[in-house]
Amino acid sequence: MPWCNSCDRYLTPNSLTDDGACPTCGDEAEVQPGEAKMVATEGERVPWHFWIVVVALAVYLGWRLIQGIGLLF
């Protein structure tokens, strides 16, 4: 979580300016070491297990659709 020493508050990563400064005072916000990144940078890929969940969800919803149509007839 970015921290602004001048304003004495935490900032959300989306509220920072393009150069990583505080939008209120303009000082550079510090990111604490060991913090996880909140935004994926260009070139990073979605994890493979996310796509497994997406495919499983599509199969499940497709099957439920078939069952729902079967109840109508």
Sequence-distant contacts of 9-14: CB under 8 A, at least 24 apart: 13/38, 13/39, 14/39
Q: How far apart are CA 73 and CA 62, in angstroms?
A: 17
Coil, strand or helix: which one is 66? helix
pLDDT in tens for each of the 73 residues of the chain?
A: 788 888 888 888 888 888 888 888 888 877 766 555 656 677 788 899 999 999 999 999 999 999 999 998 8
Q: pLDDT value at position 55?
A: 98
When computed from its CA atoms, the radius of gyration of the chain, rounded to whole angstroms, is: 22
- pLDDT value for 12: 81
